[in-house]
Amino acid sequence: MVLSDFLVGILVDPVDLKGLLYSEEENLLYNDRRHVAFAVEDDIPVLLETEARAIDAAEHQRLVGLANLRRTGPKS
């Protein structure tokens, strides 16, 4: 199951409070500014800084190159 449009519309990074990149196929939310990823477990985003996974440069390039990424958070 994918995250609902409502949830995608309100999710932000818990540290910088800005939108994330959501990948349904990777089942994660990614902050491309801070290079950290958050898991989505059982359709629940785990947006705890202590659970964030650091992303190196090669993984960053792979993630931002994925098809069907959606930006989360309120639209400005």
What's the rounded Cα separation, in Å, for the pair 64 and 20? 11
Decide if 52 is inside a domain.
yes
Kindly report the CATH number assigned to the domain that includes residue 39: 2.20.25.10
Structural domains counted in the chain: 1
SS3 state at 57: helix
Decide if 76 is inside a domain.
no
pLDDT, one tens digit per residue, over 22-67 is 999 999 999 999 999 999 999 999 999 999 999 999 999 999 999 9
Decide if 54 is inside a domain.
yes
What's the rounded Cα separation, in Å, for the pair 31 and 73? 12
If one compares 76 and 33, the residue with the highest pLDDT of the two is 33
Look up the domain containing 59 and give its range. 5-71
Residue (of 3, 4, 2, 38) closest to 20 by Cα position: 38
Range 12-20 average pLDDT:
97
What is the enclosing helix (H) or strand (E) of 5? helix 5-10
Decide if 53 is inside a domain.
yes
What's the rounded Cα separation, in Å, for the pair 76 and 28? 23
